[in-house]
């Protein structure tokens, strides 16, 4: 009888836990652009979704399958019954023909990963409008884009991307790239571009030389004929996301892997007075064998300070993770924000924390 009672209680706890999870429900998961003209530039579609669960929904990250597709999304926690969006922009320039691209949406919902799909056919422009292939002008140098997307990079690996360029002037150009961090290299081929000649710049991301995990964004600058002009007109943005590929772990490595332990992933500070500060401590433990590494704390909220932002937890130990809310400049009302911890726990590589409080006199 006790055995059945225990099973019944366990089932009730499972149902209760399930009921408190957010549910992300998209109006549609596939969009067909149909035929789009290359000359019309970027094509954009907004995927709309509703949180049909009983807890706040936070979209942690959105990853496109290639650099030609750029997603943006609602980053604030979405209350039950409320709506959010994933805006997907496809760049058709230089990509004639039929295309199908996937976009992976990661959240704290019951279904942690959902794949969206865009498709269509790019109709090429007339060859007489050749200069449109390079819509970005940096002096006499023309480029196909001002952003180089490295996408996901396995730690320790290299990732390469090519930026196509063209000399649109009447004199020779020698393009180089400056302000490169130690983990980025850039090689221009050919070194000298004659008028109307095309070339390419190959960017290589050496992740083993980068100490940062997760999202990495760098601003570099195009220099023409050694004339340095470090301003927005000559700026390129290089983006990447350094991750660990846990799929290559052996059985022994998995058995010795760290196991993150945190009691609450929703933190409520309660009431905070205007122009005041309040601290809360969260215990982060390690139930595994190897040390747990919190490699990065991703916090885009100026009201929240977190300490430490990088730390290690030995097996069987715990560390106090301190969050501070500063209500300076905040109006009275309820607030709800999110932060993310990136770890080396294979089952909790991205840990989402929802932080809430109320500013009141």
**Does the pLDDT at position 24 exceed 90?**
yes
**Does the pLDDT at position 18 exceed 50?**
no
Position 325 scores a pLDDT of: 94
Could you tell me what percent of the chain has a pLDDT over 90?
54
Is 256 strand, coil or helix? coil
Domains and CATH numbers, the chain: 18-123 (2.60.40.10), 134-243 (2.60.40.10), 253-359 (2.60.40.10)
Which of 5-14, 181-190, 304-313 tops mean pLDDT?
Answer: 181-190
Mean local confidence (pLDDT), 331-346: 90
Q: Residue 97's beta-bridge partner residues?
A: 122
**Does the pLDDT at position 239 exceed 80?**
yes
| 58, 79 Cβ separation under 8 angstroms | no
**Does the pLDDT at position 338 exceed 60?**
yes
**Does the pLDDT at position 339 exceed 50?**
yes
Mean local confidence (pLDDT), 333-350: 89
DSSP string, 17-38: HHHTS--EEES-SEEEEEEEEG
Integer CA distances (angstroms), 9 to 1, 4, 21, 97, 264, in order: 12, 9, 19, 57, 21
**Does the pLDDT at position 13 exceed 70?**
no
Residue 180: band (very low, low, confident or very high) from pLDDT cuts 50, 70, 90: very high
> Which residue has better confidence, 326 or 40?
326
Burial 128-151 (b: 16+ CB within 10 A, else e): eeeeebbebebbbbbbbbeebbbb
The rounded Cα 153 to chain-centroid distance in angstroms is 12
**Does the pLDDT at position 15 exceed 70?**
no
Return mean pLDDT, the chain: 87
Position 124 scores a pLDDT of: 78
C-alpha dihedral, 49 to 53 to 58 to 61, nearest 10°:
-60
Mean local confidence (pLDDT), 182-191: 96
Residue 93: band (very low, low, confident or very high) from pLDDT cuts 50, 70, 90: confident
Could you tell me what percent of the chain has a pLDDT over 70?
92
- pLDDT (tens digit per residue) in 32-89: 999 998 887 889 999 999 999 888 888 988 888 777 888 999 888 888 999 999 999 9
Q: Residue 104's beta-bridge partner residues?
A: 63, 115
- pLDDT (tens digit per residue) in 251-281: 999 999 999 999 888 889 999 999 999 999 9
**Does the pLDDT at position 240 exceed 80?**
yes
**Does the pLDDT at position 3 exceed 90?**
no
Burial 218-254 (b: 16+ CB within 10 A, else e): bebbbbbeeeeeeeeebebebbbbbbbeeeeeeeeee
**Does the pLDDT at position 139 exceed 70?**
yes
Position 352 scores a pLDDT of: 85
Is 262 strand, coil or helix? coil
Which of 103-117, 137-151, 198-212 tops mean pLDDT?
Answer: 198-212
Position 12 scores a pLDDT of: 46
Q: Residue 222's beta-bridge partner residues?
A: 177
DSSP string, 154-218: ETT-EEEEEEEEEE-SSS-B-EEEES--TTEEEEEESSSBPTT-EEEEEEEEEGGG----EEEEE
Position 128 scores a pLDDT of: 38
**Does the pLDDT at position 16 exceed 70?**
no
| pTM of this prediction exceeds 0.75 | no
**Does the pLDDT at position 288 exceed 90?**
yes
DSSP string, 102-169: EEEEEESSSS-EEEEEEEEEEEPPPGGGGGGG--EEETTEEES-SEEEEEEEETT-EEEEEEEEEE-S
């Amino acid at each position: 009888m006790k055995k059945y009672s225990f099973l019944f209680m366990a089932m009730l706890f499972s149902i209760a836990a399930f009921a408190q999870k957010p549910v992300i429900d998209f109006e549609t998961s596939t969009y067909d652009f149909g035929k789009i003209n290359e000359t019309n530039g970027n094509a954009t579609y907004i995927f709309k979704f509703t949180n049909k669960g009983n807890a706040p929904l936070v979209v942690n990250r959105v990853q496109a399958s290639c650099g030609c597709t750029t997603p943006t999304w609602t980053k604030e926690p979405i209350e039950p019954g409320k709506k959010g969006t994933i805006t997907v922009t496809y760049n058709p320039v230089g990509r004639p023909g039929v295309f199908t691209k996937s976009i992976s949406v990661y959240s704290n919902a019951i279904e942690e990963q959902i794949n969206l799909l865009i498709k269509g056919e790019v109709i090429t422009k007339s060859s007489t409008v050749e200069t449109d292939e390079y819509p970005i002008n940096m002096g006499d140098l023309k480029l196909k884009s001002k952003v180089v997307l490295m996408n996901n990079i396995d730690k320790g690996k290299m990732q390469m991307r090519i930026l196509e360029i063209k000399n649109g002037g009447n004199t020779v150009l020698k393009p180089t790239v400056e302000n490169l961090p130690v983990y980025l290299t850039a090689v221009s081929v050919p070194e000298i571009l004659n008028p109307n000649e095309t070339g390419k710049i190959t960017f290589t991301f050496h992740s083993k030389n980068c100490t940062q995990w997760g999202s990495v964004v760098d601003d570099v600058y195009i220099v023409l004929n050694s004339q340095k002009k470090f301003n927005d007109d000559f700026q390129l943005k290089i983006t990447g996301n350094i991750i660990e590929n846990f799929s290559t772990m052996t059985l022994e490595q998995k058995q010795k892997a760290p196991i993150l332990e945190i009691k609450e992933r929703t933190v409520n500070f309660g009431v905070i007075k205007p122009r005041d500060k309040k601290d809360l401590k969260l215990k982060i433990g390690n139930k595994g064998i190897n040390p747990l590494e919190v490699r990065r704390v991703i916090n885009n909220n100026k009201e929240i300070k977190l300490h430490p932002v990088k730390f290690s937890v030995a097996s069987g130990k715990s560390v106090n993770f301190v969050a501070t809310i500063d209500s300076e400049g905040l109006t009275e009302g309820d607030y709800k924000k999110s932060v993310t911890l990136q770890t080396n726990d294979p089952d909790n590589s991205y840990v989402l924390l929802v932080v809430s409080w109320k500013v009141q006199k």
